[in-house]
Structure 1
Amino acid sequence: MKIKLLLTVLFFTTVCFAQNSVSGIVTGRDNETLFGVNVKVIGDNSGTVTDSEGKFVLKSNKKLPWTVEFSSVGFENKRMTVSSNNQNITVVLSDEHNKLDEVVISASRTPEKIFESPVTVERMGISDIKKTASATFYDGIENMKEVQMNTSSLSFKSINTRGFASVANTRFMQLVDGMDNASPLLNFVLGNMIGISEIDVQSVELLPGASSALYGANAFNGILFMNSKSPFTSPGITTYFKYGQTSQKAAGNNNFYDFGIRMAHVFDKHFAAKFNFTYMQGTDWYATNYDDKTVVGRDRSNPNYDGINVYGDEATTNMKGVGEALVLLGKIPASAVNLLPNTNVSRTGYNETDLTDNKAGNTKVDFSLHFRPLGDERLEVIWQSKFGFGNAVYQGANRYYLNNFAMQQHRLEIKGKNFFVRGYTTSENGGNSYDMLFTGLNINRKWKDDKTWFGEYTGAYIQATTAQIPGVGTTPAEAHAFARSVADTGRFLPGTAAFNNAFASVIDEADVTKGSKLVDNSRIYHSDVNYNFKDAIKFAEVQVGGSYRLYELNSFGRIYTDADGPISYNEYGMYTQVQKKMMDDRLKFTGSLRYDKSKNFDGNFSPRLSLLYSAGETKKHNFRASFQTGFRNPTTQDQYIGFNVGSAVLIGSAPDNLLRYRETQTVATTLGQTFAGGTTVQLTGENAYLNSYTAASVSAFSAIAGSNPVAGAALLRKTNVNFVKPETVKAFEVGYRSYFEGVSVDLNSYYNIYNDFLGSLNVIAPYYGTVNNSVNLAPNAADPSNTIYQTLHALQNGNFRVFQLYTNTNVEIKSFGFGVGLSKKVIADFELGVNYNYAEFGFDQAKDPSFEAGFNTPKHRVKVSLGNEKIIRNVGFNISGRWNSEYLWQSTMVDGTIKSATVVDAQVNYTIPKIHSTIKLGASNIAGKEYTQVLGAGQIGQQYFLSFTLNPR
């Protein structure tokens, strides 16, 4: 209690020992006064900002003379010397037209101008955030060059660069103040749910492409860096409030609210603190795609319908198989089986809108304590804690509602002029999250078990076919319709008390045979260290560093094979980089090398080499070329998952994982044997990897097995895959960046070669028999001792389990593309920006027919923006538009085509200098045509908002 009281007193009490002061006024061109300009004494923590009239008073106890720096977004920094107390000065700041002078850190782990970066890098600063026409700054990242956004939910969006996009994007890394934002359980970033508040953002940097040489595993296709403001340099209270509406045909018009506050205070030159709170609440985009997952054009009238956003209809079985079981039970005569078609039927499912309240929300809280023992930037100790809570829909193999999902991160970092040592932990709690597929399945089963439902359906079908029911037609379509009506009699209907009770019971139960709750309490422990020898070594800038990570998976057996206790494994890496300027600083060489090792895999070396040449008298024509490598360790899912998603079981291939997964299945018949009460068989992960057929070959077999079993059997292929291993990429890139005649130019082109590319493969494991490519159909093949032929019996009678394996393809994959970015101030201060990206990949599908690469990237993308920060005094605006071509979407949930889309966002803002505030009115997708970014997610409609941001400093 005493400690809490002390911190409270420290936070709200300031003692000032300033002895000297300087005052003055800051203006821009045309003598226009500038408010909000940062004014600070170099080498001291004293600082202030200009008021609404451009005036300031700066006090410090540092001895004169001072060097005072003036900085403001959109203007060039300026320094002046103050030699006497109470001096009054006038400062004129010049517009910063050339954004190529912006400083980035991510490309080389050391500060450098963006146009001197050895690799492609993009940056979003405070002024860009102010100008964005999107509802949030994170949404506005979509308008950056190279970025492709995938929207799974209003509050959950994933970022991708250079192809192979997905919602679960494990090939892209996101760091917030140096901490990996990825979920410990899922291994990918949940958008900005535990990210950063837009009023606390100092900068956003994007590195597209392979970056493993400096950042290790998973820095494979790109990294996003989000850096927050320091309370030492950005003190004060800032707050914002947004109100708006989302508009969608399926969901109608719905309100959303977004509020945030930032409080930062410098107590003295040694101690500062910061606190952030944000809250967002709205209605998600309704997912209402009722196309069939597996058959294009098939609708609900088909007996085996499996809708994309319909759940529970995944329960399916073969009608003849049901008929044979009914014969064994004496319920129907043997002759009746001949009336049944050799086809599957599925249970009636529930729409996604019946299984979620479609509420999207996010609450973020973070605070940090900053201590400078020496009173300046030479040494700083930071403690930071971040908490994120929210509701969102995540899409993987199924659709999952993250309900009251929570993540937290805690960081301790010590940093100085040339080094940092950082350690942090990430933990999460699934809250009341659930799987929508199993919610639909088990609500149905609460009412009537599958065996009973399919039995009633089959019996009613026979009755209709034999015209035993007056007024019921005998065509197959009419018989199926009648059979479904009979089997569905008394079904729980959405909105009824019976449905609501069943729903509440199912989402509160983790056992997939009864419920759908997702249970998770996984953690990551991570540490980083880096040291730059630039003060000790003069011939070149040399850096060394390393990292260590420990995973602790704990889903209590719900998602991973950790029913007997948490699964732990570790990985570590170390790197060095040498950077040298030559030829009058015109030529810069950068060489990096990193070694990484994970518990289950061999070590991996990742080199990077790059050259940058600055041509021209003023060195403004910058040509760069680089060779980079990347690698990606198989994720925790690739290794240790054992997740029943209904239609399949996802099985990781870590050597110790195959026997961790166990399940029991009941069968009524095997070859030559029948079991009145059924018998049980045991399956493990070894059945999936060592005794299964490829799903593609089983489909080919099933198509002709009834009419030509010999030919059908010849099409079967035994699964022959190795256990999963790391994937690698070799990336070649050239680029050019410059600024001349008022035009900013950025060109880049890349060519990537992927080996051992990670993906998934569906296989089918029969409950009995021995899988082999050569199936003996000799006259004695029906002998029960013929274990190979038993597998055919299992396939034809529905006695098999579908598994999804994680594996690597042996086929080399290549991707290539280029980008063009142009920006220029046109009439007056109107700034026009245009960029274009081309992306393509090459994969010989014939060499690996069952493998899905999942490039999921449009070939053509165009983005355009036009804005002016001051159309007239205090009024600014920005319009941004983007277009993408049509492309193929492949995922573990559903494959299909995503249509081309044109999206236009716009905003106008008004600044009120006297109270340091800004009012912004904006709209996303103002043209109103709904579009899709993730097949299976809701279509994206319009979003309108009005925001007010107040910064009294």
Structure 2
Amino acid sequence: MRTKYLFFIIMMSCVNFYAQQTIHIKGKVVEEKNGKPITTATIMVLGSSEFVITDAKGGFVLELSQSLPVEIVVNALGFNDYKYIITQREENVTIKLKEGVTSLDAIVLSASRTPESVFESPVSIERMGTKEIVSTTSATFYDGLENLKGVDVNTSSLTFKSINTRGFATFSNTRFVQLVDGMDNSSPGLNFPLGNLIGLNELDVQSVELLPGASSALYGANAFNGILFMRSKSPFSQEGTSVYGKTGVTSSENAGVNEFVDVGVRVAKKVTDQFAVKFTTSLLKATDWFATDKRNIDDDGNIIAGDRNTIDYNGINVYGDLIKTDIKEVAKKLESAGATTIGGNPIDADDFNKENVSRTGYSEQSLVNPDTDSFRAAIAMHWRPFKGNDETEIIYSSKFGTGNTIYQGGSRYALRNFIMHQHKLEIQSKHLMLRSYVTFEDAGDSYDIRFAGINTLSANGTNEQWFGTYATIYASAINGELAGNGVPGGIPAAAHAAARNQADTSLRLDPNSSAFKTLFNSVIKNPDLTQGAKFVDSSRLYHTDINYNFHELIDFAEVQIGGSARRYMLNSDGTIFTDPTDGTITYDEFGIYTQLQKKTMDDRLKLTGSIRYDKAKNFDGNFSPRLSVSFSPDEEKNHIFRASYQTGFRNPTTQDQYVGLNLGNTILIGTAADNLDRYSKSYSNSAGGQGLGFGATGTFTGRKAYENAFTLSSAQTFGAKAAVGDFAGAVTSLRMSDVDLVKPEQVSSYEVGYRGKITSKIIVDMSTYYNKYKDFISLVTVLAPNYGNTNLSDMGTLPVPGAGLVTLPNAAWALINGDRTVTSLYTNTDADIASYGANIGLEAKVFGNYDFGINYSYAKQDFDQSQDPDFETSFNTPEHKVKVSFGNTNFYKGLGFGINARWQDAYYWESSFIDGQIDARTLLDAQIMYDIKSWNSNIKIGRANILGNEYEAAPGTGTIGSQFYGSWTYNF
């Protein structure tokens, strides 16, 4: 009922504000030198928020509700601004623009939620307009974002890219927001954007704007490290039909040369002056980059020496070899059961060293189809309900995306037939914006690659069978009983090799066999992660935004108010979240904000203040203020200095709060108060635990990890000391974990900057920032003993070889006996964390009409690891980056070219999947383009990574090589 009342009030407001006489000004914008129409030029009314954009023929219709005269400013990227005073109704205004270096004059909406030029923005902002999108040297416009100043693009796979600014990034980047026509296109269940899966067809991109750093004062939770805005073209101003076709090859040493194809269509029609419709679709099919990193890792995810010949080998992109056990313990069980060797001699555990042996896993190529594809479709209907007034518009749109790709988070995940779709109803007017949308997702046939390897192995032969076979053959070989089969007796290395070979022959299927394929397909369709690998997710997100601008009602400043409300409905059938199989987890949050902006001193001084209040279900309310000032010391406003104080916060994601997922090497548990008791699993105790009277089995719950666990570092120290018999020292090293329930993290950001037109052909944009973080959300790994109290209050006695009876706390015995559960909990660190950096960019016209640009970015974190030894910040950003561009879109009769070069230094990558060093790299992209005016066509031929410097974006991702492409775009 309240929603109906609100809608009625809004509609009446629209009628009240727009049921008045308007003045129509018609005209066109062209290039001064040749009369060529300029598309996407912006015509703004000074002193108001009114503006229009030229259509494909350079035409525009400006509807004025205020009395004449009024002054307008015409802006187009690549041209000098033009000011014009309208004194009377005019029907044929022709505005001629001169070429100039004006990327700073492009109009943006995101920085202050009101139209302003990049030059006047009170905060740092990066932008790609139509010119940059058409001329990008990357295979797609989305890939081209990497050429922007201070922007990182992390490539998880060919079709899944993660955008980030200012550090603290992973592929599952929950600190960065991506809006497409105002809709957050993050996955409701995964809580981060899936690249451009349901983004925009490149034919439909009007502009891309990116705000680095904190933006929570205007955009709420999770606008923490940055926010990306993608806006599509209006069917009213840019109608017609366009198609593109793109093909080429990808090339890398491990994947070879593979073809790809990418096609798309945009159809837009203004049916009447009041109704327009638009449809877009695109399809990409390719072969993904291959992930073939065979480096060895230890139990803590650190890269160590070793290869497949290492008996406890655990390869990064090999799955199933995570399963390991102490082979001496296996021999003890066989010995006690009276087992014999092949020669009939009893197995003697004394023939075995105490050492871990891992199963022989499967490479990623055996578990993943390398084909990748992406399909997008969207339809939008635009209605202007008041005849003669184009300022009020009602928009209904639907976007659909599906595809196959791979992303890397706590594990490697094969997204297969993954579907997301969004549906939006929006009302826009001169002062009001009301938007409501819903996001649905379906994980389709997606699965966890790690579990696919583990459970495919286990389904063919239990771990107990495989290790039993291994121990039997090893015992036979070490005693010379297999010497007749070519295995020298008494040589441990040869005995291990013989044991592995026989165990694999008996209990590991050949990945090329039909039996393997049948078994594998059954595993990836099973959502029970103790037997299968499939993950189920059909979560939903409901969101509503409202914004009102009081510009014409309040004279002394521009005042805006707004708010938002969001509801998550989590449904994974218990495979990701702790949701019941017959229900969902519902989670709500809302926010309200206001902004005041004042210009003075002939508009040379601009003051902006914003504040937002947000409240989420499980957390206290949070205030996010923002203050900024920009000042131009010269009357021509060729130089602008700016300073800002911004705050941001990130609500713990739905996974931070409600996940309950066994990853094999650890269990992820969200620490919302109502989640701790919902996760449970059974465990089996060793003979030692049973000897203490704790039974053969028990039940582990999330609350045990939260309330009765040891820190990882102290448990590791304990293990090292206990292994050499220093039991007293081992016990004194143990520390109880002290994990608090997860809460929002916050950042305070300070920034100063300068933008200037040094000459008519040179512009400079520079900034420096300092970020201070509080309650940084962290993933803490703890060891929960299956029995005993971590306050060491209960004691037990067991025999120890060579030491007799030893009395220790029961929890210590649990660690020694391996009766513990490794758990990763979401919480907040008390450590002091800060980051700082600087960006400087220069753009110029050189050699007459050639575009040259260069920018440098510096980023550094300030974190003392000793404050929290178990915490990783995952800063994941090179300290130094340099990017250079050079080109000309029309250096000879429609022929153009572009070159982009990028260099970054080495840095250390941290994530819940794997840590490792990322080498420095230099990449070079180039293309040539040709506009065929008579055919309304554009042809491009280019190559990304011309130098062929293959690299991994992070340890364990696909090895990225070169991409050669050719495309043809035709406009009907």
- Superposition TM-score, scaled by structure 2 size: 0.90
CA contact under 8 A between 1:321 and 1:798: conserved in structure 2? no
**CA 1:948–1:862: 2 relative to 1, 3 Å:** same
Deviations for 1:8-41, whole angstroms, at most 9, x for unmatched residues?
A: xxxxxxxxxxxxx999998645446458688999
Deviations for 1:688-724, whole angstroms, at most 9, x for unmatched residues?
A: 1122222222222222312223223332222211111
- Which residue number corresponds to residue 469 of structure 2? 456
**CA 1:152–1:779: 2 relative to 1, 3 Å:** closer
Tell me, yes or no, if structure 1 residue 562 matches structure 2 residue 552: no
Q: Which moved more, 1:442-451 or 1:322-331?
A: 322-331
1:611 Cα deviation after fit: 1.0
Partners of 2:860 and 2:625 lie apart in 1 by 25
CA contact under 8 A between 2:40 and 2:53: conserved in structure 1? no
- Which residue number corresponds to residue 429 of structure 1? 442
Deviations for 1:581-623, whole angstroms, at most 9, x for unmatched residues?
A: 1233222111111111111111111111111111113122111
- Which residue number corresponds to residue 522 of structure 1? 539
Q: Secondary structure at the match of 1:468?
A: coil
Residue 290 of structure 2, aligned match among 286, 291, 298: 286
CA contact under 8 A between 1:762 and 1:802: conserved in structure 2? yes
Tell me, yes or no, if structure 1 residue 306 matches structure 2 residue 314: yes
Which residue identity does 1:546 align to in structure 2? G
**CA 1:919–1:73: 2 relative to 1, 3 Å:** farther
Residue 211 of structure 1, aligned match among 211, 215, 237: 215
- Which residue number corresponds to residue 317 of structure 1? 325
CA contact under 8 A between 1:310 and 1:351: conserved in structure 2? yes
**CA 1:692–1:47: 2 relative to 1, 3 Å:** closer
Residue 829 of structure 2, aligned match among 809, 815, 818: 809
- Which residue number corresponds to residue 392 of structure 2? 379
Q: How many residues align?
A: 923
CA contact under 8 A between 1:173 and 1:223: conserved in structure 2? yes
CA contact under 8 A between 1:769 and 1:787: conserved in structure 2? no
CA contact under 8 A between 2:829 and 2:868: conserved in structure 1? yes
1:341 Cα deviation after fit: 2.1
Q: Secondary structure at the match of 1:596?
A: strand
Residue 942 of structure 1, aligned match among 951, 955, 962: 962
Q: Which moved more, 1:726-735 or 1:695-704?
A: 695-704
Deviations for 1:301-340, whole angstroms, at most 9, x for unmatched residues?
A: 1111111000011111222332333344343699822332
Deviations for 1:534-569, whole angstroms, at most 9, x for unmatched residues?
A: 111111111111111101010000011113421111
1:478 Cα deviation after fit: 2.3
Deviations for 1:162-220, whole angstroms, at most 9, x for unmatched residues?
A: 00011000000000011001000010000000111111011100000011111111000
**CA 1:481–1:697: 2 relative to 1, 3 Å:** farther
- Which residue number corresponds to residue 16 of structure 2? none
- Which residue number corresponds to residue 16 of structure 1? none
- Mapping 1:141-540, distance limit 5 Å: 141-294=145-298, 295-331=303-339, 336-375=348-387, 376-470=389-483, 471-490=487-506, 491-540=508-557
CA contact under 8 A between 2:51 and 2:62: conserved in structure 1? no
**CA 1:142–1:25: 2 relative to 1, 3 Å:** closer
Which residue identity does 1:498 align to in structure 2? A
**CA 1:464–1:85: 2 relative to 1, 3 Å:** closer
| Percent of aligned pairs sharing the same letter | 47
Residue 732 of structure 1, aligned match among 750, 757, 762: 750
Q: Which moved more, 1:575-584 or 1:839-848?
A: 575-584
Partners of 1:76 and 1:247 lie apart in 2 by 42
- Which residue number corresponds to residue 545 of structure 1? 562
Which residue identity does 2:576 align to in structure 1? I
Partners of 2:277 and 2:412 lie apart in 1 by 40
Residue 626 of structure 2, aligned match among 596, 604, 608: 608
Partners of 1:860 and 1:355 lie apart in 2 by 37
Partners of 1:58 and 1:612 lie apart in 2 by 32
What RMSD, in angstroms, separates the aligned Cα atoms of the two structures? Answer: 3.1
- Which residue number corresponds to residue 10 of structure 2? none
Q: Which moved more, 1:172-181 or 1:773-782?
A: 773-782
1:440 Cα deviation after fit: 0.6
- Which residue number corresponds to residue 111 of structure 1? 115
- Which residue number corresponds to residue 855 of structure 1? 875
Deviations for 1:59-108, whole angstroms, at most 9, x for unmatched residues?
A: 99xxxx99999986534576798999998x97643214222211111111
Q: Which moved more, 1:779-788 or 1:766-775?
A: 779-788
- Which residue number corresponds to residue 617 of structure 2? 599
- Mapping 1:868-879, distance limit 5 Å: 868-879=888-899
Which residue identity does 2:492 align to in structure 1? P
Partners of 1:502 and 1:671 lie apart in 2 by 35
Partners of 1:844 and 1:581 lie apart in 2 by 43
1:504 Cα deviation after fit: 1.0
Partners of 1:58 and 1:900 lie apart in 2 by 51
Partners of 2:664 and 2:347 lie apart in 1 by 33
1:939 Cα deviation after fit: 1.4
- Superposition TM-score, scaled by structure 1 size: 0.92
Partners of 1:103 and 1:141 lie apart in 2 by 18
**CA 1:487–1:377: 2 relative to 1, 3 Å:** same
Partners of 2:320 and 2:75 lie apart in 1 by 59
1:828 Cα deviation after fit: 1.4
Which residue identity does 1:382 align to in structure 2? I
- Which residue number corresponds to residue 752 of structure 1? 771
1:750 Cα deviation after fit: 0.4
Partners of 1:932 and 1:66 lie apart in 2 by 60
Partners of 2:409 and 2:944 lie apart in 1 by 26
Deviations for 1:503-522, whole angstroms, at most 9, x for unmatched residues?
A: 11111111112111111100
- Mapping 1:26-41, distance limit 5 Å: 28-31=31-34, 33=36
**CA 1:27–1:414: 2 relative to 1, 3 Å:** closer
Which residue identity does 1:128 align to in structure 2? E
CA contact under 8 A between 1:317 and 1:798: conserved in structure 2? no
Which residue identity does 2:637 align to in structure 1? K
Partners of 1:833 and 1:631 lie apart in 2 by 34
**CA 1:447–1:547: 2 relative to 1, 3 Å:** same
Tell me, yes or no, if structure 1 residue 580 matches structure 2 residue 598: yes
Q: Which moved more, 1:159-168 or 1:377-386?
A: 377-386
Which residue identity does 1:457 align to in structure 2? Y
Residue 769 of structure 1, aligned match among 788, 798, 803: 788
- Which residue number corresponds to residue 129 of structure 2? 125
CA contact under 8 A between 1:713 and 1:775: conserved in structure 2? no
Which residue identity does 2:821 align to in structure 1? R
Tell me, yes or no, if structure 1 residue 717 matches structure 2 residue 735: yes
1:686 Cα deviation after fit: 1.5
1:455 Cα deviation after fit: 1.6
Partners of 1:530 and 1:737 lie apart in 2 by 29
CA contact under 8 A between 1:777 and 1:789: conserved in structure 2? yes
**CA 1:418–1:798: 2 relative to 1, 3 Å:** same
Which residue identity does 1:465 align to in structure 2? I
1:58 Cα deviation after fit: 11
- Structure 2 unaligned segments of length 5 or more: list them: 1-23
Which residue identity does 2:182 align to in structure 1? G
CA contact under 8 A between 2:347 and 2:475: conserved in structure 1? no
**CA 1:726–1:30: 2 relative to 1, 3 Å:** closer
- Which residue number corresponds to residue 839 of structure 2? 819
Q: Secondary structure at the match of 1:906?
A: strand
Partners of 1:864 and 1:927 lie apart in 2 by 15
